[in-house]
Structure 1
Amino acid sequence: MPLRCGALIKVEIKENHDVIIKSPYEMVTIFELLDGANDVEITPCPEDRLNPNKTWDARSLRLFPNESAVSEKQLNASLSFAKGAVQASLSRAAVEWLVLTANLTTLIQQINEMPFGVDEILLESLQISDDIDMPGRFTSKCLAQGQNTDFITRMSHWTYGEKEGCKSRYIRNALCVLGVEDLHSLSQYPNIMANKMLPEFDYAIVECVHEMIFNRTFLGQVDHPLDTEYYSNMVNVKYHKNRKRPDPSYVLNCRPRTIEWQQYPYP
């Protein structure tokens, strides 16, 4: 199983207080359904996140050290910008490209010149830069239509109002801190991980999620079967499948066919 999983995905990016909520077998199935598509949240990038006096084309960024290994289109490409969660799931092909083909040094240095939220830009921008053509990428066309792109790597519940908007009645940095009251909901979400859980606030939810994963992994517990249609119908997944196996009838539809997990009833 590790070899099978390793062929599908190389890196899953996490932060503190992220807790995995899917079993290893569920994750393998999810990555098979993603079929090589990167899972990256895409929303508009605020203007104050970038230095407008910098140049952002591949040549100026020295993005490709071995220019003979990439196309002229890639060499002449300019970066498209987006913002999203730091958490993301990248295909093995994408990670190998980031490490072996691209040189991100100058790009990271320029992004880091700004004081806030720079960790939310790098992967998102590469993900939608069509002509730079990172493996598993998406496109900038949906963002140009004013449509954000969903992702399933991380579940979090943002709330900017009263604490009653959280089942745990506890908010930190505009995010509901998840408690044992959230276990039933977490067991149903399509996401791979959840944020945020604070052991010092409620260790029970951490322990209960781990028990759920253990039961699903070793005891054959099937409390909420994976909704495979959710993953296979994600906009970025369908787009990537068409890039791999072009279908003359395919038309990019930036609106998902399924109800996004953010619209699930909560609390």
Structure 2
Amino acid sequence: MKYVARDLGASAENSSGGGGRGLARELLTLALLTVCVLSLLYFLAGLVTDFAVSRISPAREAALFEGHFVDEFAEEVPEAYAQQWRKAEAILAKVQQATGVPPLHYQLGYQSSTQPNAFALPGGHIILTQGLLDALDAEIALAFVLAHELGHFAGRDHLQRLGRQLGFGAGLMLLTGFQSNALFDSVSNFLALNYSREEERAADRFALQVLDQVYGSRDGAERLFEILEQEEQLPGWAYMFQTHPDTAERIREIHEVREE
């Protein structure tokens, strides 16, 4: 007897879960579930990190991190920048005496990047780029940048960011078995965007308070932001994907605080 296949019509699509539409629904459900799991994991890592950081004193931080990380970022200061470097160290010595600055052994590290930038590392290290030294001549402008980084130390931002990254990475490793993944790294960075903007705003306010106390003036504090604003090409909506607030907004806030 010869077998003849029957045309099942619409029932074939129903029995297969809806064909392409069914597969699309399943993929969408899986994507939403993945986002929910990753968001929950990042939130839990943040809770654990905040609890741990609140119990790490500046002395303990110095003992844990002093001498670490900085070798991966810092380079030898070129002779051509020796004078500017001594000036930066003298300014740091001034601003670190302000009220609210944690008692750490602060040290500067040089990086040859031409992009104007500065960032804080656990243990009291502040990295300054060649581009920053080239961009800022006035003492008050560099003092604001250094005081801003001290604001990150005051807020324990560097420790919280490190803890979140480590906690999120450890959780992903337990869930997936992989130590690192570019997609997961991107998700982690995106989840941290708003938190980082809040850090930056708080560090700006801290820096202005330091300038008031040490120099009695804020005139010129916005100089770096003015330089960055001239170089930026991003449209306004693109700042939702940036870790720092809108540069024009930061300049505006400095002016507004000055007028109060």
TM over 0.5: no
Per the normalisation by structure 1, the TM-score is: 0.26
Structure with higher RCO (Cα < 8 A, 6+ apart): 1
Question: Whose radius of gyration is greater, 1 or 2?
Answer: 2
Per the normalisation by structure 2, the TM-score is: 0.26
Larger fraction in helix = 2
